[in-house]
């Protein structure tokens, strides 16, 4: 059945559209964007007073399948994505087994085809087992559907291996996504190294652990000419270096997570593992640098780094807990709260950060409402008041610092390939 989304404010940065209009989807694709459309037998979604945007893309999530289905699976993760307004998600390869071969990539593609309610795009590993030594089967993974390579969760520590990876990725025209962390500098750390870590007697991860890796990689990116992307950037220096490289014309990009632009280490609840992630929540100075870099255009994508862990693992002593928090369902609301409502960026720019920004790195053929594009649409409110109750989450995990927070604005309905897959009750 066709779908007609009526009377919303359509914001499509890719086509330069920002006006009140209707969106008609037929056969799973955008058929028209114009005022006063009609279609006799279409399902009608009334978007009066709401924003109608191209389906949001999250280029950095962990779906935990195969291997850690007690934390999340492709179906539950995709439902959390839909409830967060995301229509496409890219899943990191740190599963069990690691997605370092066409076999695992194909498995994920096939499971997603049968179980996922949003589009799922696998990211292959850079090295076998993400062990950082031997390159994975990059060409074969691309053939099976991988859209990028990354060892996320771990960095590629060996510069020679990283150079080879960049060269291979360049020949396959794939972006390389690096989790920037010098493991020798971060070893043993549980939170950002600063006044708060000293006060609470916890071992610190210095900002330099991220900065030195970004610096090294930018040199290698220049050497190889490969498309290079910094995952979850969190420090002032790293953002400045990526911005410098970008201005030199290198194909270098970076993303920021909602938790890194919304929170700093001094806002952590002491010893609460819902605030434990990598990179850690940084200083207030770093956090404001991330916001500034988003506003200036140095950071071109918002990505959640949705990292589910079950309560049994997150309810240990702080030092023993795994790193990471879930984020799909709160990302849009946090972007509105921290970036748009205070006037740091416009609504138009926020939509770019969720659509054209990640699309330009991942090249999924999505992120626009142009006629003929896949019928992926995110409908959201900038005013709706709602409270996040993680116990109602679609994720299998509950690890978030945002439980109980009341937001102004959030997702209202999510349309994937012309079908409404989630709607706020």
Which range, of 174-182, 192-200, 317-325, 344-352, touches Zn ion by CB under 5 A? 174-182
Distance of CA 264 to CAs 150, 196, 267, 279, 289, Å?
26, 10, 6, 12, 11
Distance, CA of 327 to CA of 258 (rounded, Å): 8
Residue 237 DSSP SS3: helix
Contact 77, 306 (CB under 8 A): yes
Catalytic choice (266, 305, 376, 389): 305
Q: Please identify which residue in 9, 79, 179, 276 interacts with Zn ion, judged by CB under 5 A.
A: 179
In the range 43-62, which residues lie near Zn ion by CB under 5 A? none
Residue 100 is among the residues annotated as catalytic for this protein = no
Other CB atoms within 10 Å distance of the CB of residue 286: 25
The smaller minimum CB distance to Zn ion, of residues 106 and 399, is found at 399
> In terms of CB distance, is 179 or 314 closer to Zn ion?
179
- Alpha helices, DSSP H, located in 172-307: 183-186, 195-200, 207-224, 236-247, 258-262, 284-296
Identify which range of 26-34, 175-183, 348-356, 376-384 contacts Zn ion by CB under 5 A. Answer: 175-183
**Number of shown-chain residues binding Zn ion (CB under 5 A):** 3
- Whether the CB-CB separation of 155 and 205 falls below 8 Å is answered with no
The nearest distance, CB 133 to Zn ion, in angstroms, is 19
Q: Which of 65, 151, 152, 352 binds Zn ion (CB under 5 A)?
A: 152
Q: Which residues of 244-261 are buried (b: 16+ CB within 10 A; e: fewer)?
A: ebbeeebbbbbbbbbbbb
Cβ-closest position to Zn ion: 179
Cα–Cα distance measured from residue 364 to residue 323, given in angstroms and rounded to the nearest whole number: 29
Question: Near Zn ion by CB under 5 A, which window of 17-25, 128-136, 144-152, 328-336?
Answer: 144-152
User: What's the min distance (Å) between Cβ of 376 and Zn ion?
Assistant: 26
Minimum Å distance from CB 16 to Zn ion?
34
Among 128-136, 230-238, 242-250, 342-350, the segment contacting Zn ion (CB under 5 A)? 230-238
Q: How far is the CB of 264 from Zn ion (least distance, A)?
A: 19
Q: Which residues pair with 138 in a beta bridge?
A: none
Task: Give whichever of 144 and 230 is closer to Zn ion, judged by the CB atom.
Answer: 230
Q: How far is the CB of 277 from Zn ion (least distance, A)?
A: 9
If the CB atoms of residues 84 and 279 are measured against Zn ion, the closer one turns out to be: 279
Contact 220, 166 (CB under 8 A): yes
Find the shortest distance in angstroms from Cβ 248 to Zn ion.
Answer: 25
d(CA 412, CA 12): 17
Q: Which residues contribute to the site for Zn ion (CB under 5 A)?
A: 152, 179, 231
The catalytic residue positions are 305
């Amino acid at each position: 059945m066709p779908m007609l989304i009526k009377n919303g404010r359509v914001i499509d940065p890719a086509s330069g559209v920002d006006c009140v209009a209707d969106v008609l989807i037929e056969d799973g694709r955008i058929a028209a964007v114009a005022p006063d459309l009609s279609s006799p037998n279409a399902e009608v979604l009334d978007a009066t007073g709401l924003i109608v945007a191209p389906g949001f893309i999250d280029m950095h999530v962990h779906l935990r399948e195969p291997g850690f289905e007690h934390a999340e699976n492709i179906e539950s993760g995709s439902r959390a994505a839909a409830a967060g307004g995301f229509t496409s998600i890219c899943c990191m390869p740190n599963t069990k087994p690691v997605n370092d071969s066409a076999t695992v990539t194909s498995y994920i593609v096939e499971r997603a085809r049968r179980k996922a309610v949003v589009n799922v795009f696998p990211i292959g590993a850079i090295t076998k087992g993400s062990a950082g030594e031997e390159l994975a089967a990059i060409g074969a993974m691309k053939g099976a559907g991988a859209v990028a390579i990354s060892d996320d969760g771990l960095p590629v520590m060996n510069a020679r291996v990283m150079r080879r990876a960049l060269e291979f990725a360049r020949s396959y025209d794939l972006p390389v996504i690096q989790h920037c962390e010098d493991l020798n500098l971060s070893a043993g750390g549980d939170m950002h190294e600063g006044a708060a870590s000293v006060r609470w007697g916890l071992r610190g991860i210095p900002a330099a652990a991220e900065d030195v890796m970004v610096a090294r990689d930018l040199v290698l990116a220049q050497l190889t000419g490969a498309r290079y992307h910094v995952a979850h950037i969190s420090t002032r220096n790293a953002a400045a270096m990526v911005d410098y490289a970008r201005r030199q014309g290198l194909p270098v990009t970076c993303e920021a997570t909602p938790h890194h632009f919304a929170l700093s280490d001094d806002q952590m609840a002491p010893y609460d593992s819902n605030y434990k992630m990598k990179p850690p929540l940084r200083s207030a100075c770093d956090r404001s640098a991330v916001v500034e870099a988003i506003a200036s255009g140095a950071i071109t994508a918002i990505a959640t780094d949705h990292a589910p862990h079950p309560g049994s693992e997150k309810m240990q002593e702080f030092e023993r807990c795994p790193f990471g928090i879930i984020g799909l369902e709160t990302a849009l609301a946090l972007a509105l709260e921290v970036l748009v409502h205070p006037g740091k960026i416009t609504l138009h720019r926020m939509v770019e950060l969720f659509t054209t920004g990640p699309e330009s790195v991942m090249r999924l053929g999505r992120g626009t409402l142009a006629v003929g594009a896949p019928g992926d649409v995110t409908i959201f409110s900038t005013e709706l008041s709602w409270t996040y109750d993680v116990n109602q989450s679609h994720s299998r995990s509950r690890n978030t610092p945002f439980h109980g927070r009341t937001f102004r604005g959030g997702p209202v309905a999510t349309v994937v390939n012309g079908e409404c897959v989630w709607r706020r009750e």
